[in-house]
Structure 1
Amino acid sequence: MIKQALLGEFLYEAESTRKLLKAIPDSALNWKPSEKNWTTGQLASHIAEVYNWYEATFNQDVFDMGTYQYDKGDISKAENIVAKFEENVAKAQKVIENSNEDHYFNEWKMEMGGNPLFPPMPKIQVIRSFLYNHLYHHRGELIVYLRATGNNVPGLYGPTADDQM
């Protein structure tokens, strides 16, 4: 039952993420709001990457960031970021579909070289915060980036000021 709820939200929100990533023009990829921030391309690539974390989160009890490797590919074109998203989201969907609800309350840890980065918590809490809410946070940032660069923003939960009424 929990799996079906997670999968339903995942599919709905993946479509929203897809619309947002497809709205990024190549001309905005190198823009960033300050020296402290990622570029639009880096932020969009990170959003695509979050879907790559599903396997380690659902199927492992320890995620070692010290050994984690990810090939983000060429992020100089928005279509490449969308393609990476599509690859990662397909794998993530399979992970959810094949997950075992009996493991959702196992203790989960994120470490780097054996050192905890966060306190251990139930896997379901990690799924909701580390995977889902974390992604929504970054989508909000990306919306701000699109607005700041004069680009249209697609409606995710209803129409935006860019939509024709």
Structure 2
Amino acid sequence: MTTIEFFLEQLNAEVATTRKMLERIPNDKYDWKPHPKSMNIRSLATHIAELPTWIPMVLSTEELDFAAAPYNPTIINNTENLMALFEKSFVAGLEALVADKEWLMNDTWTLRNGPEIYSRDKKWEVIRLTISQIIHHRAQLGVYLRLLDIPIPGSYGPSADEEFVPIEVEEAA
């Protein structure tokens, strides 16, 4: 399995759970946040929805310099627009993971803010981190939804809000 094939498998595996989590956000909760130091749901959900676009960015550039290109998130005010953004970003991530880009995986990619370098890693490491960030922030959103008493979907099995049905296993004779 190539690195590209591995990341395609990973991204496809995480998209369904991410989609289920994002689509549960009520339109009247976008400004809510659990703590003064926390992001509001709008910022968190937008970040999750935009993260797949880091894959084509990493594969087509050598760095991201926030001093030269400040982050301007898409403004989302409802779940319909959030889901459209997520689907568009997901497709962009998938479309960037093509076999002829395998040779780029060991190139170095830098994240910086002017002269301050935050990280300098292989492109494959940044893509792995991007997928991990989707999972991390999705879990964070799950906590937000739980605090709002909104049932959350399971991620790698059923959640406390879903009925667990054990699989019956036949005993060997």
TM-score (norm 1): 0.90
Contact 1:63 1:109 in 2 (8 A): yes
Q: What residue is the counterpart of 1:82 in the other structure?
A: 83
Q: What residue is the counterpart of 1:52 in the other structure?
A: 53
Q: 1:48 is paired with a residue of what secondary structure?
A: helix
Q: 1:7 is paired with a residue of what secondary structure?
A: helix
Distance in 2 between residues matched to 1:88 and 1:140, nearest whole Å: 19
Q: What residue is the counterpart of 2:121 in the other structure?
A: 121
Distance apart, 1:98 and its partner CA: 5.6
Q: What residue is the counterpart of 1:64 in the other structure?
A: 65
The structure number with the bigger radius of gyration is 2
Distance in 1 between residues matched to 2:106 and 2:126, nearest whole Å: 10
Contact 1:47 1:139 in 2 (8 A): yes
Q: 2:97 is paired with a residue of what secondary structure?
A: helix
Contact 1:22 1:82 in 2 (8 A): yes
Matched, 1:142 2:141: yes
Q: State percent identity of aligned pairs.
A: 30
Q: What residue is the counterpart of 1:164 in the other structure?
A: 163
Distance apart, 1:137 and its partner CA: 1.1
Matched, 1:112 2:113: yes
Give 1:143's aligned amino acid: G
Q: What residue is the counterpart of 1:133 in the other structure?
A: 132
Provide, for residues 71-93 of structure 1, a one-character-per-residue CA deviation record: whole Å limited to 9, x for no partner. 513x2211111111111111111
Unaligned runs of 5+ in 1: none
Distance in 1 between residues matched to 2:160 and 2:73, nearest whole Å: 36
Distance in 1 between residues matched to 2:37 and 2:89, nearest whole Å: 27
TM-score (norm 2): 0.86
Contact 1:61 1:107 in 2 (8 A): yes
Matched, 1:39 2:40: yes
Distance apart, 1:123 and its partner CA: 1.2
Cα RMSD of the aligned pairs, angstroms, is: 1.6
Distance in 1 between residues matched to 2:82 and 2:49, nearest whole Å: 7
Aligned length: 162
Q: What residue is the counterpart of 2:171 in the other structure?
A: none
